[in-house]
A and B are shown apart, each in its own frame.
Chain A
Amino acid sequence: METETAKDERTGAGGGEAPDFLEFRGVSKRFGAVRAVENVSLEIRKGEIFSVLGPSGCGKTTMLRLAAGFERPDAGRVRLDGRDITDLPPEKRRLNTIFQSYALFPHMTVRDNIAYGLRAAKRPKAEVEAEVERMLHLIRMTDQAGKKPDLLSGGQKQRVAIARALINKPDVLLLDEPLAALDLKLRQRMLVELDLIHDEVGLTFLYVTHDQGEAMSLSDRIAVMEAGRIEQVGTPAEIYEAPRTSFVAAFIGDTNFLEGEVADAADGEHSRLRVEDFPPVVCYNDKTLGPGNSVFLSIRPEKVHISRDRPEPATLRNVFPARVEDVIYLGAMTRYWVRAGDLRIQVLRQHARYFLDEKPIRWKDDVWIWWHADDGFMLERYREKDESLIAPPPADLGEDAGGGAPDEDGGR
């Protein structure tokens, strides 16, 4: 019964969802030969922070521009709150954008920048002034209201851009890598601030970024995008824990890929896989793949256990002997690259009591690695080039790697 609910969570079959609000239906956009967006269908729910996450050039900005109305799709429709907005010009859409470069009007003061939307809507002067004051207060910039954007810091510009967009009370706020231009510290602060603003105004956010950390920490749901296509949509946990394609597995965090073929069923839900030059691997099989089907597995490095001692055998536990080839001590963790059979496998291990560990694992040590059958994921799509996204082991570490761990006589 317990495993049942766990699977439900993994595949995202939750209840009580808000209705779809902003919808892309089969949207495609080409620029000459470049397929910037290719047959994308997405439903963004009211009030959620939805991220589009993908590497630079994958079509994220184009998605936002399609939503904002700066681009017309070659095919497909965009709908907002049940209404088809595909043919509406930008000024008629109740969406506002935080541009990657902020795009503040340089000849206007902060106050005039923020007032722009309401003035364009020809709202009464008194109302405009009151709303602008409210916004200035919200972004804590009342004392900077008379300044031109040139005189502001990056974080301040960012806040003005947010206020300028929010004052129109849009249905959806579109954010194009809004934190990319900020330094790390500021980025983290603005991330919290964005979250607070989201809670305060209760808007729907469509957030575009190439930074998985941002997307993971901010989003209710994430669409992972690659080369104009959506690879997977899900909560941050779903995306990370249950990647469906090699791209998602490799782009978000690190992983190990195993290529194999279904040999036979291990039990109702699990199959045994044949992997070349490697002992059989047991894996959860939700794809109802039968014997003979070839599969690709993704196993996160932190799901792989490592020890000098052979672990107790258990059902659904894959145990293999291996040899340590590289060790990188990272403080909170240590990263190992081990050779098992013909495969190089990455293992991430958190330290509980590093100095108290009786036998720290060193370079060239013979070890055992193991993982639970449910921690391996069969990928729907595998492309070899995605492996290049995984952090490779450093080439020049060699013998020093073992020394990455402090020596017993060194520390105390």
Chain B
Amino acid sequence: MTAATRRPPREGLLTAPSFVWLTVLFALPTILVFAIALRNPDPDGGIGAGWTAANLGRLAGPGTAGILWRTLWISAATSLICTALAVPVGYVLARVGPRWRVRLLMLVVVPFWTSFLIRVFAWKDILHPEGPVKRLLAALGLAGPQTSLLYSAGAVVLVSVYAYLPFMILPIYAAAEKFDFRLMEAARDLGARRWRAFRTVFLPGIRRGLWTGLLFVLIPSLGSYIIPDIVGGPSNELLGNKIAQRVFVDRNLPQAGALSVVLMLAVIAPLAAALILERRKRRPGGLFR
């Protein structure tokens, strides 16, 4: 009765390309990173001989925990803010007429025509102590002379939200565009106010888009190092910065590998837990039914 038993024999052939793709570009690199993390460093910046757990052991200090925590909360905050902004945008995009839709979608996509690096640098000017935002806030009495917009965790979140928002908007829009808005009318008809209809019918209706967007934003922000480097300053380094330093400054690839492993586990563990929970909920019979 399960779908698996009825699969046509050709399915193996059909899925082969994506299987190869995933193996070569995803599984192998992941295994390599794990392997490198367990090798001795080579003084020339390469990978030395022999296996060791010392790289992982060296991470056990409080410094790693602090930076891991900061990476996680900044990424989580970025993802949440992106979601909160992208859902209404996706909703509007799906509801407006086709002409407006094209124009608004252009607005979402057009920043990509400028280099990512340049756009992040532009924020440095915007948030600069002599920059327009600071002056405006000061004029309004909202910021004192020593308030710093730049080089703060807030600046990292702000610029990350700016940079990753399109990756949240597009999948949410794609889901909202397929959403049957008559369901919202049905909810209203049954007595739900706007907000309740939105929460109980629209959001579950676009949940695939939400999950996709969340992954698209969460994963790059977890590994991000350019944004914290440019607008975060030394006190707001994230794991990504540490990894970059190990690679480019210390030329210690195994140590960088160990950090990556920590990051990966930090991401994969909660995802796997969420996935298992979701499955449990779907099938009351349990995981292995």
Contact = CB atoms under 8 A, between A and B. Distances in A.
A164 B183 CA distance: 13
Given A107-B204, A107-B205, A120-B196, A97 B191 contact: no
Contacts of A89: 188, 193
Contacts of A90: 185, 188-189
Interface in B167-217: 180, 182-183, 185-193, 196, 200-201, 204-205, 207
Interface stretch (A98-106, A220-228, A294-302): A98-106
B190 A168 contact: yes
Interface in A45-73: 68-70
Contacts of B204: 105, 107
A120 B191 contact: yes
A168 B192 CA distance: 12
A107 B180 CA distance: 12
Contact of B192 (A96, A106, A116, A165): A116
Contacts of A164: 190
A103 B191 contact: no
Contact of A117 (B183, B185, B191, B201): B191
Contacts of B200: 116
Contacts, number: 61
Q: Determine chain B's interface SS by DSSP, over half rule.
A: helix
Nearest to B191: A120
A68 B182 CA distance: 13
A96 B189 CA distance: 6
B192 A97 contact: no
B187 A116 contact: yes
B158 to A, nearest CB: 34
Contact of B190 (A69, A101, A165): A165
B185 A120 contact: no
A175 to B, nearest CB: 12
A121 B191 CA distance: 7
Contacts of B189: 68, 70, 90-91, 95-97, 165
B205 A116 contact: no
A401 B105 CA distance: 63
A23 B247 CA distance: 77
A69 B201 CA distance: 19
Given A103-B180, A107-B204, A97 B186 contact: yes
Contacts of B205: 106-107
Contacts of B190: 91, 96, 116-117, 120, 164-165, 168
Nearest to A68: B189
Nearest to A121: B191
A103 B183 CA distance: 5
Contact of B193 (A91, A106, A107): A91
A168 B188 CA distance: 12
Q: Which of B189, B193, B204 has the most CB of A within 10 A?
A: B189
Contacts of A105: 183, 186-187, 201, 204
8 contacts: A91-B188, A91-B189, A91-B191, A99-B185, A99-B186, A101-B182, A103-B183, A168-B190
Given A70-B188, A105-B187, A120-B190, 13 more contacts: A70-B185, A70-B189, A89-B188, A91-B193, A96-B189, A101-B180, A101-B182, A103-B180, A103-B182, A105-B201, A120-B191, A120-B196, A165-B190
Nearest 7 A-B pairs (CB), nearest first?
A: A103-B186, A117-B190, A120-B192, A90-B188, A120-B191, A107-B204, A97-B189
